[in-house]
């Protein structure tokens, strides 16, 4: 019996198809599985948004075949108000959890975190495998709610109690639909907790020789900070979901107050707290915003350095700012509840950190812009999407200043201004981060290049498209266009209908553009130009191994790291970059900008 100091499982080459591709222990396969799940989810979510947008722009339009999706929700192919809300809820839930959290964090993180720190795998591959399959089960459970009698829940992705806790009296899908929703999210939480466990231990304990914390690429920092946030946020959402399920199935009264009459029925519950769910949900919900965006920030920083061919303005300040975002994200959640009736002093207490959190965000943006300033940029598709992400993040961030102030938020709350804000700052920005990462890492993941021309077409049409969709949301919000309404055919909202029609056409167009991306992805996977080991002339460890990487990532010998991650534009060096694994002695001028 030997005393070894490592609980590591050495990878053995799986022999069967199931072991290799289905229940794989290889972090790279698991990363691809996560990516595949996110890809399916994003197209489902986008399809739902298409249906919603058609209905908003053309409220009486019969969408051919819609009744096949739901007999009750779309009699005569025209969407009922309830069905609109059901689609909206599912769109939000699918996108936030199974796309924005899954793709930049779980998919890319799984594939590249161990490689970028120079490890042969994650320390707990079985947990890693479970993490994916539990998440996948969560997705199936969520999808199953489409096939229940009255369809999925209509409570919105925030699923506010008490209406979400009561049952079918509050509308179709509010019974079994909510139970499936909460079960799905609880499963998702378990998956993310297992993932975070692996990410944190890999970053802390599995780094190769020479890979100090400050030599880790920005991507690794992004994933590490996100996993710490995920660990604490999902650990709170999970018990909240369990309490919600108990209110449904066990007759408890955690969230349902006394004497509540819904649909002319007195609810048989007593004493529950109406704000409790909001506190628990937003304690998770605000960090979740950063869980979605911080990996994207890491990816964009990483790609930007490769494209501008010089080090980022300040690697360390970027890391500190991302850390500050993570810490502050727990202190701001109350800004989602400014109009919930909580104490005005609490509003001020939550407003202050909400304004403070713009400081690290601004620093991050300024570092990106400062790094770009005067650089000779290699304007390839990953770079375009990275710069696009900076643009959408700034646009969405600026509207955040307005919402951070309770006095303004009272006016803008629950209007399209908020919808425009979070779609820019979180959804589109994170999505651009995912696109940038996909074009950048596809060669390493699949050994083939993606088509650059199609990529650039995809970028420009998407970039213009998302601005056409989400910029008018701000104007609508300022015109007091409330969100969550299923149609704007009455009174003061009617003059805004042409704006909604414009947005609908833009959404259909931008959605269709994504088929170019899908085509590029599938075509390049099989017929793309073969990729070299280092097609972008990058410096980090993923570019010093074979394409695609072998089972143990580095072919038997772990790399030794000698340099900071972004040694580009090195004077007197043989190339214009020095890889982290190169033992070459170099002299750099860090802060030339």
- Restricted to residues 437-466, the positions that interact with another protein (CB under 8 A) are none
CB of 443 to another protein, least distance (A): 25
Of 229, 226, 202, residue with least CA distance to 298 = 226
> By C-beta, is 6 or 64 nearer to another protein?
6
How many residues belong to the site for another protein (CB under 8 A)? 73
Q: How far apart are CA 20 and CA 16, in angstroms?
A: 6
CA atoms within 13 A on the CB side of 59: 12
Question: CB of 496 within 8 A of CB of 483?
Answer: no
End-to-end CA distance of the chain: 57
> By C-beta, is 172 or 195 nearer to another protein?
195
Residues between 254 and 293 that touch another protein (CB under 8 A): 254, 258, 270-273, 275-276, 279-280, 283
Residues between 352 and 411 that touch another protein (CB under 8 A): none
> By C-beta, is 208 or 481 nearer to another protein?
208
> By C-beta, is 179 or 280 nearer to another protein?
280
578 forms bridges with which residues in the sheet? 567
> By C-beta, is 214 or 373 nearer to another protein?
214
Residues in CB range of 252: below 8 A, 6 or more apart? 243, 246
> By C-beta, is 87 or 238 nearer to another protein?
238
Rule CB under 8 A: choose which of 135, 202, 381, 504 binds another protein: 202
CA distances from 323 to 216, 392, 428 (A): 15, 21, 22
Residue 261 exposed, middle or buried by CB count within 10 Å (0-12, 13-18, 19+): exposed
Stretch that binds another protein, among 178-186, 189-197, 469-477, 508-516 (CB under 8 A): 189-197
The DSSP-derived string for 334-400 is GGGGTTTT--HHHHHHHHHHHHHTHHHHHHHHHHHHHHHTT------HHHHHHHHHHHHHHHHHHHH
* Position 590 contacts another protein (CB under 8 A): yes
Stretch that binds another protein, among 21-29, 104-112, 237-245, 342-350 (CB under 8 A): 237-245
CB of 132 to another protein, least distance (A): 18
Of 408, 393, 336, residue with least CA distance to 360 = 393
Q: Distance between alpha carbon 38 and the CA centroid of its chain, in Å? A: 10
Secondary structure class of 63 (helix, strand, coil) = coil
> By C-beta, is 379 or 546 nearer to another protein?
546
* Position 193 contacts another protein (CB under 8 A): yes
Stretch that binds another protein, among 98-106, 248-256, 502-510, 543-551 (CB under 8 A): 248-256
Dmax over Cα atoms in the chain, in whole Å? 80
Q: How far apart are CA 463 and CA 466, in angstroms?
A: 6
Rule CB under 8 A: choose which of 206, 387, 507, 513 binds another protein: 206
> By C-beta, is 137 or 231 nearer to another protein?
231
> By C-beta, is 533 or 584 nearer to another protein?
584
Residues between 557 and 576 that touch another protein (CB under 8 A): 557-560, 562-564, 567
The conformation of residue 451, written as its DSSP 8-state character, comes to: P
> By C-beta, is 81 or 569 nearer to another protein?
569
Q: How far apart are CA 556 and CA 197, in angstroms?
A: 25
CB of 217 to another protein, least distance (A): 14
Rule CB under 8 A: choose which of 40, 63, 78, 242 binds another protein: 242
* Position 542 contacts another protein (CB under 8 A): no
Long-range contacts of 199-205 (CB under 8 A, 24+ apart): 199/109, 199/113, 199/122, 199/223, 199/224, 199/226, 199/227, 200/224, 200/227, 200/228, 200/231, 201/122, 201/123, 201/124, 202/113, 202/114, 202/117, 202/119, 202/122, 202/123, 203/113, 203/117, 203/227, 205/123
Residues between 484 and 523 that touch another protein (CB under 8 A): none
Q: How far apart are CA 247 and CA 256, in angstroms?
A: 8
CB of 219 to another protein, least distance (A): 17
Stretch that binds another protein, among 106-114, 358-366, 378-386, 553-561 (CB under 8 A): 553-561
> By C-beta, is 394 or 586 nearer to another protein?
586
Question: CB of 330 within 8 A of CB of 291?
Answer: no
CA atoms within 13 A on the CB side of 328: 21
Rule CB under 8 A: choose which of 75, 149, 239, 498 binds another protein: 239
Residues between 110 and 139 that touch another protein (CB under 8 A): 118, 120, 123-124
* Position 589 contacts another protein (CB under 8 A): yes
> By C-beta, is 484 or 590 nearer to another protein?
590
Rule CB under 8 A: choose which of 232, 340, 358, 405 binds another protein: 232
Q: Beta-carbon neighbour count of residue 126 at 10 Å?
A: 12
* Position 547 contacts another protein (CB under 8 A): no
Rule CB under 8 A: choose which of 18, 204, 512, 515 binds another protein: 204
Rule CB under 8 A: choose which of 252, 340, 346, 358 binds another protein: 252
């Amino acid at each position: 019996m030997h005393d070894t100091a490592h609980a590591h499982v050495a990878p053995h080459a799986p022999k069967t198809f199931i072991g290799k591709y289905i229940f794989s222990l290889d972090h790279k396969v698991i990363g691809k599985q996560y990516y595949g799940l996110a890809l399916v989810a994003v197209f489902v979510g986008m399809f739902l948004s298409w249906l919603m947008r058609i209905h908003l722009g053309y409220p009486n339009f019969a969408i051919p075949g819609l009744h096949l999706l739901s007999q009750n929700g779309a009699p005569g192919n025209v969407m009922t108000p309830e069905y609109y809300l059901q689609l909206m809820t599912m769109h939000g839930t699918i996108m936030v959890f199974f796309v924005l959290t899954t793709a930049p964090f779980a998919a890319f993180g799984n594939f590249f975190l161990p490689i970028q720190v120079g490890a042969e795998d994650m320390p707990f591959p079985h947990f890693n495998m479970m993490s994916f399959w539990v998440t996948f089960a969560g997705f199936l459970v969520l999808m199953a709610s489409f096939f229940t009698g009255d369809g999925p829940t209509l409570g919105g992705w925030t699923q506010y109690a008490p209406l979400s806790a009561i049952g079918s009296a509050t509308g179709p899908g509010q019974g079994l639909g909510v139970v499936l929703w909460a079960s799905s999210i609880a499963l998702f939480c378990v998956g993310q907790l297992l993932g975070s466990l692996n990410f944190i231990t890999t970053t802390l304990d599995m780094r190769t020789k020479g890979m100090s914390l400050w030599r880790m690429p920005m991507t690794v920092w992004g994933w590490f900070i996100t996993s710490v946030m995920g660990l604490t946020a999902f650990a709170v959402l999970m018990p909240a979901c369990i309490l919600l399920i108990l209110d449904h199935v066990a007759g408890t009264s955690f969230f349902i107050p006394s004497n509540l009459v819904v649909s002319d029925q007195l609810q048989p519950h007593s004493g529950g707290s109406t704000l409790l769910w909001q506190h628990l949900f937003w304690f998770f919900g605000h960090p979740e915003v950063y869980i979605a965006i911080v990996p994207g920030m890491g990816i964009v920083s990483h790609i930007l350095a490769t494209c501008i061919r010089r080090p980022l303005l300040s690697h360390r300040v970027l890391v500190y700012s991302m850390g500050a975002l993570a810490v502050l994200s727990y202190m701001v959640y109350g800004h989602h509840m400014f109009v919930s009736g909580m104490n005005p002093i609490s509003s001020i207490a939550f407003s202050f950190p909400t304004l403070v959190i713009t400081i690290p965000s601004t620093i991050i943006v300024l570092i990106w812009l400062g790094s770009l300033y005067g650089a000779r940029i290699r304007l390839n598709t990953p770079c375009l999407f990275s710069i696009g992400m900076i643009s959408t993040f700034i646009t969405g961030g600026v509207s955040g200043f307005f919402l951070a102030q309770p006095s303004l938020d009272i006016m803008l709350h629950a209007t399209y201004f908020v919808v425009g804000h979070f779609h820019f700052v979180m959804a589109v920005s994170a999505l651009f981060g995912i696109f940038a990462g996909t074009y950048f890492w596809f060669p390493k993941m699949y050994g083939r290049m993606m088509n650059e021309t199609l990529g650039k077409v995809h970028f420009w049409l998407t970039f213009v498209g998302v601005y056409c969709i989400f910029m008018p949301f701000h104007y609508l919000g300022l015109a007091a266009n409330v969100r969550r309404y299923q149609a704007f055919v009455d009174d003061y909202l009617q003059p805004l209908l042409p704006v909604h029609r414009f947005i609908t056409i833009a959404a259909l167009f931008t959605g269709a553009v994504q088929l170019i991306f899908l085509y590029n992805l599938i075509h390049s996977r099989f017929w793309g130009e073969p990729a070299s080991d280092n097609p972008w002339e990058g410096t980090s460890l993923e570019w010093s191994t074979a394409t695609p990487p072998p089972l143990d990532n580095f072919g038997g010998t772990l790399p030794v790291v000698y340099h900071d991650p972004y040694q580009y534009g090195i004077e007197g060096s043989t190339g214009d970059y020095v890889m982290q694994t190169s033992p070459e002695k170099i002299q750099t001028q860090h802060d030339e900008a």
